[in-house]
Structure 1
Amino acid sequence: MEVKGVAPVMRLLRRSRNILTRRQLTGLLWNLSSHNLLKEHLSKEALEILTTSVLVPCSGLSEGENPKDGMLADPDTFYNATGCLRNISSAGPEGRKAMRQCENLIDSLVYYIRGTIADYKPDDKSTENCVCILHNLSYQVELPQKYASDLHESRLNLAPKTKTPGCFGSRSAKIIQRLEPKRPLLEKGSPSGVEWLWSAITVRMYLSIMERSICPYTQEAAIGALQNITVGNGLVSQAIAHTIVQRENGLLQAMKMLQEGGMVVKKTAVSLRCNISRYRELHAHIVKQVLPQLVVMLPNSDTSTDLPTEVTVSLCHILINLSQDETQHVRAIVNHGALPKIINISAEDNGFGPTRAGQAACILLHSMWSHSELHRAYRKAGYRKADFVNSRTSKAVH
């Protein structure tokens, strides 16, 4: 950087049509991008040239438009370039902002990933890089106000508010269908640039990767991207959650991650479910499809070494959300054997009071007791009011 060596590298990459030279240059850029001090510099100097000279021709995005670009397509050059961009995307908010604004960068990544999925090659070596880049770019992404306005207008077309039906209510399907609005943003036919980060097409792409890939990093990045774009409280996050659950049946793919993924993948999968569980209209789907797996994951106590504390906290928060309104959902939680685990977790103390997981479990117990219709069932199973409402749970709630 001191001798301004990046600029001549980029000029040569832009001019060269020799495949071996281009491989060497992109390999050099990948090596340079591994140094934290250079990432921000590369985000200013390299993005446009890497995109136009490598991503677009190698991804096939411009296929048919410029026949000469086909001569530049090379898997190794693309792999090196996406490795470089993967490093840059992890640098910080300014680098991510520059990448989001770079014309055709995101388009090329999405086009390439969709191509490998269509070719049944979800574990292609460059796919991992591309999905990881999109994962990073989806972190704290800001939605332009005009899209939020479009979604707000679509919400005005909802049917009159109706109490969410019980898990097995005969009217459930009809009411859920009426509650689901049209979401013009997610259904937009031709996304471009940053719009891909929250497009329904991209959501479907991530779910396909989760279903087909066996690469842990690719799985983690796909589910992490979904977690990132559902983490907010706005209408877009809500629309994406509905898309995942009701339109794409995505809870089943996430369930696969819980059953087969490593701990990092499981942690992210639980966080995604926690985001989705904030929406009451989706509770019946969660209870029916994945509640048994969530209860199985719940540790027998907060001192268990099987799960990180934050996973236990997330699991408790999912159950808290499910237990807010519907007695049938609380009954299902109890019937799946969660109550002894919840009580054990709530009893854990770190010397200053309940642990974070213990506090979440206390709030959950307090919420479960609020359903008076279940009091007799609790007592019949051997539990007392004091198991649910006591000084610890009351303090946690207040």
Structure 2
Amino acid sequence: MEVDMGRQREVEVHLQQSRTQDVMTLESESKPPEMTLERAVSLLTQENEETLILAASHIQNQCFKSADAKKMVYYLRGIGKLLQLLDNDNEEVQRVAAGSLRNVVFQSSENKMEVKESDGVATILSALKSSRDVETRRQLAGLLWNLSSHDLLKERLSRDALSVLTQSVLVPSSGISEGENPKDELLADADVFHFATGCLRNLSSAGPDSRKAMRHCENLIDSLIYYIRGTIADYKTDDKSTENCICILHNLSYQIEAELPKKYTQDLRESRLNLAPEPKSVSCFPQRSAKITEHLERRSPLLEEKANPRGIEWLWSAITVRMYLSLIACSVRPHTQEAAVGALQNITAGNGAVSEAIAFTIVQRENGLQQVKKMLQEGESDVKRTSISLIKNLSQHQELHPDIVTQVLPELVGMLPNDDTGTDLPSEVTVSLCHILNDLSQSAPQHVRAIVNQGALPKIFSISRKDSGYGPTRAGQAACVLLHTMWKHSDLHGAYKKCGYRKADFINARTTKAVNSGRN
């Protein structure tokens, strides 16, 4: 999700105007000209600090009120002049200039690009790095958030802004370095942190290069994790900064297994191997014991508990998995819920040992399906959709099927559309539901029996008949494959017939074609 920060509220400037007018009165008995945008921009090159503050404040207020004012500032070449004021020695001049720029670029792609072309990013970052004034830092961080919503600025910001935002804002405001540097603690501010994480939230969605840069930026992930764990401990999981932080982690976990450097994948493979229990040397049945040991290890490949993960290691840590589940349990903010579930979906999406271990950790060690069940029951549409995608990943592992059937099957079947009534969920969710039920049906007949007992068959038959006019819909095709799988369990044929169903309902030209097309 990308957002423009929102305009700075209109500031009161009566005191500034009064002082400036008094100075002018001493210098001249004539009344000062009426302030206009043209005059304000022309005054930005003056040396008098009161004049600069008055001019920049006028621009700030006019751009808050009117989109046309932003265009006028662009055509008057005022953006470059405002950027120059960020280097002014007077803190108040810096502050008002930053606030003006924040309004000037809000929802204006043209003005954002003008900042970029004027090398304004470097100027803004330099000001943020050096400023100790909280209000100035708020304006600068808000300005960066606004700029970060433009796709063409994301690459530049991902390259140049990460370290400054992390060291100047995230580290002092998250509390991760509390006690280490008292001077930095003076920079801590909830609003600056909120604006900075809003900027990083936008950057984290920019693509693989931005994700890579953010994953390897020192202290960035550590600060986000520390902050979220703190809000969980303080029962404050619904603040906006927590939402920003979890959305960043959600994006950084995307395709994590595929994008990890080989160094990490090799370390993780070795770590997984080291977790395998050694066979007991004393045994009456050594071969059988070895098989049992192998089976148990196969059944529960849990994540290694590393006490002090650092940087990118947090993204697959068991501690982080627990943190996500805690957010799902505690937060009522839909975006926070969706991001936490989405992060779990991302880190269980691969085919490697790490994704598998995370899946088993969620279900068997952390009892995480109970939190997912809550989202299926109470979550908004997007949260439910993401929760279904997570369960689809979990259903790839047969050993987890009993837990899925026991804990969330009623909710899964309940989300299938009826013949006469649809759902508020997109058709892709129906496809995923059919895939999950197909996975469950392949592993054991008792799972199929449980699906039937939940009243799923009429829904599945109805979905299988859905046609787009050019053939079965994707959902219809998935339901056809599911029916074909359900008939494979011969010991259930009698139960089907008692319910009034025949073989032809399960195995027919439509279902056979769906199965064959899936193989091709």
Q: TM-score normalised to the size of structure 1?
A: 0.93
Instruction: Report matched runs for 1:95-110 at 5 Å.
Output: 95-110=210-225
SS at match of 2:471: coil
Aligned partner of 2:439 among 313, 321, 324:
321
Q: Which has the higher contact order (CA 8 A, sep 6+)?
A: 1
Distance of 2:510 and 2:335 partners within structure 1: 40
Instruction: Report matched runs for 1:1-398 at 5 Å.
Output: 1-141=116-256, 142-143=259-260, 144-154=264-274, 157=277, 179-184=299-304, 187-301=305-419, 304=422, 306-398=424-516
SS at match of 1:94: helix
Query: How far apart are 1:354 and its partner, in Å?
Result: 1.3
Deviates more, 1:27-36 or 1:271-280: 27-36
Distance of 1:273 and 1:193 partners within structure 2: 27
Distance of 1:183 and 1:88 partners within structure 2: 29
4+ aligned runs moved over 4 Å, structure 1: 154-162, 175-178
Distance of 1:247 and 1:280 partners within structure 2: 16
User: Structure 1 residues 225 and 17, CA, compared in 2 at 3 Å: closer, same or farther?
Assistant: same
Distance of 1:69 and 1:52 partners within structure 2: 9
CA contact (8 A) 1:200 1:243 kept: yes
CA contact (8 A) 1:302 1:345 kept: no
* Structure 2, unaligned runs of 5 or more: 1-115, 279-288
Q: TM-score normalised to the size of structure 2?
A: 0.71
CA contact (8 A) 2:302 2:360 kept: no
Query: How far apart are 1:155 and its partner, in Å?
Result: 7.1
Distance of 2:512 and 2:271 partners within structure 1: 39
SS at match of 1:324: helix
CA contact (8 A) 1:43 1:98 kept: yes
1:260-315 deviations in Å (ceiling 9; x for gaps) = 11111110000000000110010000000000111111111498353211000000
Query: How far apart are 1:336 and its partner, in Å?
Result: 0.6
1:33-65 deviations in Å (ceiling 9; x for gaps) = 121211111111110011001000000011121
CA contact (8 A) 1:151 1:236 kept: no
Distance of 2:480 and 2:381 partners within structure 1: 25
SS at match of 2:443: coil
Deviates more, 1:138-147 or 1:55-64: 138-147
Query: How far apart are 1:145 and its partner, in Å?
Result: 2.0
Quote the RMSD (CA, aligned, Å).
1.8
SS at match of 1:72: coil
SS at match of 1:286: helix
AA aligned to 2:424 is D
Query: How far apart are 1:178 and its partner, in Å?
Result: 7.6
CA contact (8 A) 2:381 2:424 kept: no
CA contact (8 A) 1:138 1:197 kept: yes
